[in-house]
Amino acid sequence: MTNRFILSAILPITFLLAPNGCQPEYVSNSRIFAEGKISSSTGANIPVKLYAEDILISETKTDAQGNFKLGGPGTTQEKTLVLNRKIISFTSSDPECKLAYDSLSIIIPAKNTAFRFPQIQLKP
């Protein structure tokens, strides 16, 4: 009887403490921050999302001046800043940021945790 009780108490605890292999590899206490300004005739209320692979880390909308700020848990992989509108050009605090092949997002390298985009120009 006592063996049964011990097993029934330990098994759920062991299951809860086991590492979850299905989740992305998050860096311990790491965060990622991205902020910027969208220069467009309709720069207000544009949805901006930050992804790590297919996982949404953070989302927001631009304010009346086209500014946005995002933050979320950091990962060991590249991130993607998705605007879902054609990006004509952008400037970045990190020269390794690059435009995605479809021009709808900016690929952010994994090495840094804070990124500034002083100017993102969208197609009208």
| Residue 27 Ramachandran class (φ > 0 left, ψ -120 to 50 alpha, else beta) | beta
pLDDT at 40: 74
Per-residue model confidence (pLDDT) at position 49: 95
Walk along the chain (124 residues) in steps of 10 and give the mean pLDDT of each run.
56 54 52 89 86 90 92 85 92 94 93 90 88
Say what the pLDDT of residue 84 is: 84
CATH architecture of 25-122: Sandwich (2.60)
pLDDT at residue 27 in the model: 47
Alpha carbon 27 to chain centroid, angstroms = 13
pTM, entire model: 0.74
> What's residue 62's pLDDT?
93
What pLDDT does 17 receive?
Answer: 55
Task: Name the residue ranges covered by the structural domains of the chain.
Answer: 25-122
